[in-house]
C-alpha cells in the first residue's frame, strides 16, 4: 500500500500470492492511494502529486480470494499513476466482483504501459476511466478474460491496444459519455429509445454512416493487429467478442473507436442487447474493414501455432 505519490519504485521477479479480503475497499497486492487528480473538464489532466515511474516486471500474482464482503479489488489497483509499466508478469486465480478487473488502471492514470503479460481472470484488464485515462499502451499481452476500457463515466483518449491475444470479451461500457462533442445531426434513430424487446434501432444506415465516416484524427481508442478469439468455455459470454449499445448510443460510442486490421475468430459473435450478431456485421460501418475473419487456435499463453500464416503479423 502506497501513499503520498511515491515515485521510482521497482518490483522485479516478485511472487505475490494468497491475499484474503474481508470488506477492505480496493484490496489488492499493490495499491496506490489516490493523490489529487480531481475531475476537470473533458481532456484536461488535473494537477496531482502522482505516482510515477513504477515498474512491475517479471512478477507472478495468484490466488487472491474473496471469502466475504471484500470482492471489490484485484491483483493491482492504480490511482493517479503516471508513466509506469507492468511487463512480463503472470496473473491468475484473482477473484473480485463488480467492475474491478485483475489489473486495474482505475483513476487518473496516464502514460502507462501494459506489455508482455499473461492475465487470466473473468475480468482481465481494466482501463476504467473513473476520472480519466490518457496515453495508455496495451501490447503483446495474452488476456484470457474481459478487456474493459472506459468502465466508469470519466473520459478516455489515446488508448492504444495492439498485438495482443484476447480470448474473451472486449467492452466499452461508458465510453466518453462526457465527451463535449455530441452528435449534432439528428439521425433517423436518434429519437427512438430502445425498448426492452427492440434492439434493432442501432442498425439504421444513418448510425452506420456516422461511425464509418467520423474523422480518424478524432478517434480516441485504437484497436489494431490483435488476435481476438471467441471463448466457448465462458457460458455467459460464449462466442461474444464485443458488446455494443442496442440504441443510438452505438453511433455516439463507436465513432470514437478506430478498430481495424485485427484477426478475429470466425465463430465470434457481437452482443447487442439480447441479440447475437455475426462479427461481419460491424464491417458494414467500417469496423475492422481491413481485418480478417478466420478460425483461430491459440496455445496456453495465447500464441498462434507455428506455421500459421498470421504468425508474426497479429497478436503477441
Q: Is residue 311 included in any domain, yes or no?
A: no
pTM of the model: 0.90
Question: Sign (positive/negative) of CA torsion 130, 65, 22, 24?
Answer: negative
Q: Is residue 193 included in any domain, yes or no?
A: yes
Per-residue pLDDT at 200: 52
Domain that holds residue 234: 10-294
Per-residue pLDDT at 190: 45
How far apart are alpha carbons 139 and 85 in whole angstroms?
Answer: 11
Q: Is residue 309 included in any domain, yes or no?
A: no
Q: Is residue 161 included in any domain, yes or no?
A: yes
Per-residue pLDDT at 192: 46
How far apart are alpha carbons 295 and 266 in whole angstroms?
Answer: 5
Q: Please report where in the chains the cell 481485418 appears, as a residue.
A: 291
Q: Is residue 306 included in any domain, yes or no?
A: no
Q: Is residue 1 included in any domain, yes or no?
A: no
How far apart are alpha carbons 154 and 113 in whole angstroms?
Answer: 20
Per-residue pLDDT at 91: 96
Of 89, 94, 79, whose CA–CA distance to 11 is shortest?
89
pLDDT digits 0-9 by tens, 62-106: 998 766 555 678 899 999 999 999 999 999 998 766 678 999 999
Backbone angles phi, psi at 83, to 5 degrees: 55, 50
Helix (H) or strand (E) holding 209: helix 205-213
Per-residue pLDDT at 214: 85
Below-70 pLDDT ranges, the chain: 22-23, 37-39, 66-71, 96-98, 176-203, 231-239, 246-248, 273
How far apart are alpha carbons 311 and 291 in whole angstroms?
Answer: 15
Per-residue pLDDT at 118: 97
Q: Is residue 22 included in any domain, yes or no?
A: yes
Q: Is residue 305 included in any domain, yes or no?
A: no
pLDDT digits 0-9 by tens, 17-40: 998 776 677 889 999 988 876 667
Q: How many domains does the chain have?
A: 1
Amino acid at each position: 500500500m502506497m501513499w503520498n505519490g511515491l515515485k521510482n519504485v521497482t518490483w522485479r521477479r516478485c511472487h505475490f500470492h494468497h491475499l484474503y479480503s474481508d470488506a477492505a475497499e480496493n484490496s489488492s497486492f499493490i495499491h496506490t492511494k489516490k493523490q489529487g487528480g480531481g475531475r476537470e473538464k473533458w481532456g484536461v489532466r488535473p494537477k496531482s502529486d502522482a505516482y510515477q515511474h513504477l515498474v512491475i516486471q517479471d512478477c507472478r500474482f495468484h490466488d487472491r480470494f474473496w471469502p466475504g464482503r471484500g470482492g471489490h479489488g484485484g491483483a493491482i489497483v492504480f490511482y493517479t499513476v503516471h508513466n509506469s509499466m507492468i511487463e512480463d508478469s503472470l496473473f491468475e486465480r484473482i477473484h473480485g466482483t463488480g467492475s474491478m478487473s485483475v489489473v486495474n488502471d482505475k483513476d487518473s492514470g496516464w502514460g502507462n504501459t501494459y506489455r508482455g503479460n499473461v492475465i487470466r481472470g473473468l475480468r482481465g484488464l481494466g482501463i476504467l476511466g473513473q476520472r480519466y485515462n490518457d496515453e495508455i499502451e496495451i501490447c503483446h499481452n495474452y488476456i484470457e478474460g474481459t478487456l474493459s476500457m472506459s468502465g466508469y463515466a470519466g473520459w478516455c483518449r489515446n488508448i492504444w491496444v495492439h498485438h495482443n491475444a484476447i480470448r474473451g470479451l472486449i467492452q466499452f461500457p461508458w465510453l466518453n459519455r462526457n465527451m463535449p462533442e455530441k452528435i449534432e445531426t439528428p439521425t433517423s434513430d436518434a429519437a427512438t429509445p430502445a425498448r426492452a424487446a427492440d434492439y434493432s434501432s442501432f442498425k439504421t444506415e444513418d448510425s452506420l454512416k456516422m461511425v464509418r465516416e467520423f474523422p480518424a484524427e478524432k478517434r480516441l481508442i485504437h484497436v489494431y493487429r490483435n488476435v481476438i478469439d471467441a471463448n466457448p468455455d465462458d457460458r455467459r459470454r460464449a462466442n461474444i467478442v464485443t458488446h455494443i449499445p442496442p440504441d443510438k448510443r452505438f453511433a455516439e460510442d463507436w465513432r470514437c473507436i478506430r478498430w481495424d486490421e485485427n484477426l478475429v475468430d470466425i465463430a465470434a459473435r457481437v452482443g447487442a442487447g439480447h441479440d447475437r450478431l455475426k462479427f461481419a456485421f460491424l464491417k458494414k460501418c467500417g469496423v475492422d474493414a481491413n481485418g480478417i475473419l478466420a478460425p483461430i487456435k491459440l496455445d496456453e499463453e495465447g500464441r498462434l501455432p507455428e506455421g500459421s500464416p498470421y504468425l508474426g503479423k497479429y497478436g503477441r
